[in-house]
C-alpha cells in the first residue's frame, strides 16, 4: 500500500506514524521459513540474516507484516541510510560480516495476515490492534512503530523526529482496508531549498544529445567542491535544450575538482560510484562541466553530505557566485535520539 504526497499534515479520522527512512519490506513467515519482499519486488532475504533470525524469534509463527528495515548509526542516535545501502552486496561473506558490524532492525507498521486470518479487508484500526497484539512480546531489533490519532502530536513528531533521521509523517485512514499498490495513505515530507553548483551531467538513456541528470556540488569549509546529489526530472524537450546550453561549459578532467588525480581525501565525488549498486550494467560516469552555473533545488533532507533523495529543479540563479554555494546555507534539524522514537 502506497502514500501520496501532501504539503501539510491532513486532518480527519486518521492514524499518524513516523515515516521511516529505510527499506520498505513485507515479511512473510511460515514457521522457520522467512522471506523479505521489497517494494520493487527484489528479494531482500539474503542481505539481512540477522533480521531473519529476529523475525523467527519475535513474530507469530505464520504472518505477513508490512514494515521497514532500518540501521541505526554507530552511536544509536539516528538512522544511517548509507550503512543500509552497503548491506546490498553480492558476496555472502561480506553480508555476514556487515550483519555483525552494522546490524539492522525491523519496524512493523501494518499487518496483512496472522495464521489463517486475512486482515487486508479489515479497517486499519483492527489491523493496528492485531499488530499490537502480535508484537506484544517482541524485543529489539523488532519494533512496533509509534502511532497516534492526535494531529497536534503528529506535528511535533514531524519537527522532532527529523533529528533522528526520520523522513516525515504518514497518515492512514482509520477505516481504510489494506489496498496493495493504491495510494490511499498520505505522506508529509520535509522540503527545503539550496543553491548548488552544477559541475557535470550524465547523458540521458535515449542518446548522447540529451541530459539525463545534472550533478550538484557544494563547497566545504576548505574550499573543496563536494558532490551532494543530482537533479534529473526534466521533460524530454528540456533535456535536449539543456544539452545545447551546457556544451560551452564542457571541460576535461585535468582541471576539474572531481578528477581522479585531484580527488580530495574525505571529499566524496561522483567518480567513486561510476557503476550502480542496483544495476551492474548502468553507467554512472559523467561529463565534467566548469563549475560556473548555480541552480536552486528543492530537497527533503541530507544524509551525511549528500541529498538523501534526488533533488528537484527550482530555478537557475545567475545572480549567485558559485564559490558562495556552501554547506553553511543548509538548515540543520534539531538532534533527537532514535531510541526515544523506537520506544514509542
Residues labelled catalytic: 19
- Residue carrying C-alpha cell 513485507: 26
Beta bridge partners of 111: 65
Burial 252-278 (b: 16+ CB within 10 A, else e): eeeebbbeeeeeeeebbbbbeeeeeee
How far apart (Å, rounded) are the C-alpha atoms in residues 135 and 113?
Answer: 13
* Chain mean position to CA 193: 18
Contact (CB, 8 A) for 228 and 270: no
The one-character DSSP state at 260 is S
Cross-sheet strand order for the sheet of 312-316: 225-231, 207-219, 192-204, 287-299, 312-316
- Residue carrying C-alpha cell 489463517: 116
109: which 3 cell numbers? 507498521
The full length of the chain comes to 344
Which positions ≥6 away from 194 have C-beta within 8 Å? 218, 296, 297, 299, 311, 325, 329, 330
Contact (CB, 8 A) for 212 and 219: no
HSE-up of residue 103 (Cα within 13 Å, Cβ side): 12
The DSSP H or E segment spanning 213 is strand 207-219
250: which 3 cell numbers? 564542457
Amino acid at each position: 500500500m502506497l502514500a501520496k504526497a501532501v504539503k501539510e499534515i491532513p486532518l480527519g479520522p486518521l492514524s499518524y506514524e513516523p515515516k521511516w527512512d529505510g527499506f520498505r519490506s513485507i515479511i512473510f513467515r511460515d514457521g522457520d521459513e522467512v522471506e523479505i519482499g521489497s517494494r520493487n519486488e527484489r528479494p531482500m532475504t539474503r542481505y539481512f540474516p540477522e533480521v531473519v533470525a529476529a523475525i523467527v524469534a519475535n513474530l507469530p509463527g505464520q504472518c505477513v507484516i508490512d514494515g521497514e528495515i532500518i540501521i541505526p548509526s554507530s552511536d544509536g542516535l539516528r538512522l544511517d541510510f548509507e550503512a543500509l545501502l552497503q548491506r546490498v552486496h553480492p558476496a555472502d561473506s561480506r553480508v555476514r560480516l556487515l550483519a555483525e558490524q552494522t546490524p539492522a532492525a525491523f519496524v512493523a507498521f501494518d499487518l496483512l495476515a496472522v495464521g489463517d486470518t486475512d486482515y487486508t479487508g479489515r479497517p486499519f484500526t483492527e489491523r493496528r490492534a492485531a499488530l499490537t497484539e502480535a508484537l506484544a512480546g517482541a524485543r529489539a531489533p523488532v519494533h512496533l512503530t509509534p502511532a497516534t490519532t492526535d494531529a497536534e502530536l503528529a506535528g511535533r513528531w514531524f519537527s522532532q523526529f527529523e533529528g533522528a533521521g526520520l523522513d516525515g509523517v504518514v497518515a492512514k485512514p482509520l477505516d481504510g482496508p489494506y489496498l496493495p499498490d493504491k495510494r490511499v495513505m498520505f505522506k508529509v515530507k520535509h522540503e527545503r531549498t539550496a543553491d548548488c553548483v552544477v559541475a557535470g551531467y550524465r547523458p540521458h538513456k535515449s542518446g548522447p544529445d540529451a541530459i539525463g541528470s545534472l550533478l550538484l556540488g557544494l563547497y566545504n569549509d576548505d574550499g573543496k567542491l563536494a558532490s551532494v546529489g543530482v537533479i534529473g526530472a526534466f521533460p524530454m524537450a528540456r533535456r535536449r535544450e539543456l544539452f545545447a546550453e551546457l556544451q560551452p561549459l564542457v571541460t576535461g578532467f585535468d582541471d576539474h575538482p572531481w578528477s581522479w588525480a585531484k580527488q580530495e581525501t574525505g571529499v566524496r565525488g561522483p567518480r567513486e560510484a561510476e557503476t550502480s549498486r542496483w544495476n551492474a550494467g548502468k553507467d554512472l560516469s559523467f561529463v565534467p562541466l566548469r563549475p560556473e552555473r548555480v541552480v536552486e533545488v528543492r530537497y527533503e533532507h541530507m544524509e551525511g553530505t549528500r541529498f538523501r533523495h534526488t533533488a528537484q529543479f527550482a530555478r537557475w540563479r545567475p545572480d549567485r557566485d558559485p564559490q558562495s554555494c556552501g554547506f553553511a546555507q543548509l538548515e540543520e534539524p534539531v538532534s533527537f535520539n532514535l531510541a526515544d522514537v523506537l520506544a514509542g
